[in-house]
Amino acid sequence: MFNLFRYFSTLSLILIGLSAGLLGVAYREISVRQLTTLAEERNMAMVRVFENAHGDQLASLLATSLGRDSDMLLEAPEARELQAGLARLMQGTATVGVTLYNRLGVVVFATDPEQVGEIRLGEQSLRTALAGTVSSDLIRHDSVGSTSARRTSRSDLLATWLPLGTPGQAAEGVLEVQQDVTGFLASFRRSQWIVTGVLVGVFGFLFLMQLLVVRRAQGIMREQSRSIEVSRNTLEVQVDARTQELRRANRLLEGEIAERRQAESKLNYLAYHDPLTGLANRRYFIERLEKSLVDAARKRHRVAVLFIDLDQFKQVNDSLGHVIGDELLVAVATGLSEHVRLIDMIARLGGDEFICVMEAVRTDDEVATLAREVIAAFDSPFRIGGHDLYLSASIGISVFPNDGDSVGDLLRNADTAMYRAKAMGRGHYHFYTPEMTREAQERIRIESLLRRALDNAELSVHLQPQVDARDGRLVGAEALLRWNSPELGEVPPMRFIPLAEDSGMIIPLGDWVLRESCRQVMAWEEGGFVLPQVSVNLSVKQLERPEFIDNLQAILNETGLAPSRLKLEITESVVMTVDNAFVLLDRLRRLGIGLALDDFGTGYSSLSYLKMLPVQQLKIDRSFVVGIGRNSEDEAIIHSVMALANSLEFDVVAEGVETEEQATFLTGAGCHQLQGYLHGRAVPAGEFRSRWSNLLT
C-alpha cells in the first residue's frame, strides 16, 4: 500500500522548512529596510535641524575649505562654533557623529576632530552623495580608536550622506550624519528571534497537526484498504459461488431444454411415424403427399402413389403369431427402404398396407420399374424366428393428376388398382384405370342384386362328382353355388362369394346352400339315387357365427341327412382366422360330420397345426395339379403332400383333375379321390343324377 505518512511527512517537512526560511529572510529584509528608512528620516531631520541652526557656518566652511590644511580647518572659528553648537544639538539624540566633506572629498569638519583633513573620495557613498543622491548605510563601529565617550564598545551606526547646495546642481559638499542604532538593532534581533521562534512553533505545530491528520488518514486508508480487500475477497467468493450457481443452473436449464426438445421430437416422431417399423405413418404420408401435390401442380409434374398390400401376410400372422408378424413387417419395411431406389417416400398405413410415393414422374415405365423393384424386394424369403417366410406384394398404382388430384382420390384409386393386382395372383402390380371405378360401382350393384337373388330363386346348387381314384366309383360330390341373374347372367362364385363375405350375405347364402345340398341328397335318396357324401364349402364368416353349429344341427335334423354324409370344406385360413377353430371343428367332428382342408398347399399350415386338426381329408389345390407333367416342383409337392397325409392318416382328394395323365400321376402318388372336369363339371342336380344314376345302376 502507498505510504502516505512517509511521503507526506517528508514533503511537508521540506515545504515547511523552505517556507519558514523564505519567511525569515523576507521578514529580515523588510525589517532592515524599515529600520534604514526610519533612521535615514531621523538623520535627515537632524540635518535640517543643523542647517537651521548652523547653516551659515556650514556654508562658510565649505566655501573656505579649499586651500586650507587640516589645522587651519580645525582652527577656523566656524569650526569651533559648529563643534559647540552641534554638540548641543546632538545632546540627548541618537546622533553620534557629523562629518562635512567638500566637493573634493576632503573632511572639512567632523565631530571627531581626528578625521578633519582626510580625503575620502574613494568611498562609494560619498561619490553618490556628491552626484546629488542621498544614501545610507549600516556600519559596524568598533570602539577602538573612538573618541566619543558615549559610544559603547561595539555599536551599530547608520550613516547618511546628504548632498548640500542647490538641488538639481552639483553638490557643494556632503554632510554625513551617523546615528547609533545599536539598541534598535538589538530589539530588532530580539523580535526576530521571537518571530522565528513563533514561526518555528506555528510551523512545527502545523507540521505535527498535519502528521496527525496524515497518520489518521493513513490509518483510515489502511482500514479502508483492508475492508476493501475483505470486501473484494468476499465479493470474489460470492462471484465465484454465483458463477458456479449460474453454471449449474445453466447446465440444468440446458439439460431441461435438451430433455424437452427430446420429448418434443419424440412426440413429433411418434405423431408422424409408425411405432413398429419407424416408417412414416398415415398422417405424415397424407401431409407430405398434399405438399407434393401442390408442388407438382405448380411445376406440372406427375406424382405416382403405389399402394402395396402383402399377399399371405394374414396367414403368417394368424398361423405364426403376432410377434413373428410384427417382425416380418419390420423386415419388409427395411427391405423396401433399402432395396427400392426410386422411392421418394415410403409409409405404412396400418396392417400390411404400405404406400410409396414417387415424385416428378416422367413416364409410366419409371413407375412400373419402381413397382417391379418393390415386387423384387420380396423375391428372397424373410428369415424370421427360424422360419423362411415367402411373401409377395400386390401393388396398385395411381398417378397425379390423371387419376385424381387429391390425396383421398389417389389413395382410393391406388387401393382399387391394388385389388385388381391381387385378383391377378401373387406379386403383380396394376395401374389404376377409370374402369376400375366402374367395376367398383359394379360390385356395389352386384351386391344389391345378390340381396334379391335368394328370394327371386336366382341361385342354385350345382354338383361336381368326386370319384375313387382306383376304380372311378362315385364317392361324393362338391356342392358349388351358382347364380343366374336376369340382369348379369351367369355370375361365377369367385366374383360374388367374396362380395357376399364382405357384405355378410354369405350367412343366409351359406345356410341356403347347406340346406339345399342336404335336402337334395335326401330327395335323391327317396328317389333311389344314393350319393354317399356331399361336400359343402364353408366360409370363415359362417364358422365365426356362434349359432352356426346349432343351425347346422337344425338343418341336419330338418332334412334327415346323417351327419356322416355331410363333408364341410374349409380353407387353411378358416383354421387360422377363427379364434376357437379347433374347438368348433372338434364339435363338428363329434357330430360325425366330415371335414376337408380345401385348397391345400396354398396357405401356411404348420405341421404342428395340421397334426392337431380334426380333419380327415386334404384337398390338393388345382394349382399343383395343373403342373403335373410340366413342373417337377409341383409334382414334388404333390409327393410330399401325399407322404404327409399318409403319415398323419389323412385322405387325399385332388381337385381340378382335367387329364388322364394327371389322374394317372395322382393315382400313382397314392391319391385316394379325384375331382375335376375329367370326371365331370359341376352341373345342376337333375343332370348330375341322370348322369350318375345310370352309372350306378
Residues that bind Mg ion (CB under 5 A): 537, 569, 598-599, 655
Is 7 a binder of ligand C2E (CB under 6 A)?
no
Would you say 537 or 539 has its CB closer to Mg ion? Answer: 537
Question: Contact with ligand C2E (CB under 6 A): which of 492, 532, 668, 684?
Answer: 492
For position 144 contacting ligand C2E by CB under 6 A, the verdict is: no
How far is residue 539's CA from residue 506's CA, in Å, rounded to a whole number?
A: 8
Q: Which residue is nearest to Mg ion (CB)?
A: 569
Q: Find out whether 282 and 396 touch, Cβ atoms under 8 Å.
A: no
Alpha helices, H only, 95-181: 124-130
3-state secondary structure of 298: helix
Considering CB distances under 5 to 8 angstroms, the limit depending on partner class, which of ligand C2E, Mg ion, none binds residue 682? ligand C2E
From CA 454, how far away is CA 459, in angstroms rounded?
A: 6
Residue 480 makes contact with ligand C2E by CB under 6 A: yes
Phi, psi (deg, nearest 5) at residue 8: -70, -40
Residue 494 contact, options ligand C2E, Mg ion, none, Cβ 5-8 Å cut-off depending on partner type: ligand C2E
Task: Identify the bridge partners of residue 430 per DSSP, sorted by sequence position.
Answer: 396
497 belongs to the binding site for ligand C2E (CB under 6 A): yes
Q: Which of 450-456's residues contact partners 24+ apart within 8 Å by CB, and which partners?
A: 450/483, 450/496, 450/499, 450/500, 450/503, 450/505, 450/509, 451/505, 453/483, 453/485, 454/508, 454/509, 454/512, 456/486
Which of Mg ion, ligand C2E, none does residue 349 bind (CB under 5 to 8 Å by kind)? none
- Among ligand C2E, Mg ion, none, the one that 511 touches (CB under a kind-dependent 5 to 8 A) is none
**Cα atoms in the Cβ-side hemisphere of radius 13 Å centred on 593:** 25
Q: Residue from 537, 559, 577, 605 that binds ligand C2E (CB under 6 A)?
A: 537
Give the per-residue contact string, 352-391, with ligand C2E (x = CB under 6 A; - = no): ----------------------------------------
- The DSSP H or E segment spanning 161 is strand 154-164
Q: Residue 556, SS3?
A: helix
Query: In this complex, which beta carbon is closest to Mg ion, that of residue 289 or of residue 518?
Result: 518
Q: Where are the alpha helices (DSSP H) in 273-355?
A: 282-299, 313-320, 322-339
Which residue among 274, 511, 516, 655 contacts ligand C2E (CB under 6 A)? Answer: 655
Half-sphere exposure of 12 (CA within 13 A, CB side): 18
For ligand C2E, the closer of residues 64 and 659 by Cβ is 659
Q: Which three cell numbers stand for residue 93?
A: 539624540
What is the pattern of x (binds ligand C2E, CB under 6 A) and - over residues 431-470? ---------------------------------x------
Q: Is 489 in the site for ligand C2E (CB under 6 A)?
A: no
Q: What is the closest distance, in whole angstroms, from the C-beta atom of residue 339 to ligand C2E in the complex?
A: 35
E strand or H helix at 566: strand 566-571
Question: Per this entry, what is the length of the chain?
Answer: 697
Binding of residue 658 to ligand C2E (CB under 6 A):
yes
492 binds, among Mg ion, ligand C2E, none (CB under 5 to 8 A by kind): ligand C2E
Stretch of 234-242, 403-411, 451-459, 487-495 contacting ligand C2E, by CB under 6 A:
487-495
User: Which residues would be at the binding site for ligand C2E (CB under 6 A)?
Assistant: 464, 480-481, 492-494, 497, 510, 513, 537, 539, 569, 598-599, 622, 655-658, 676-677, 682
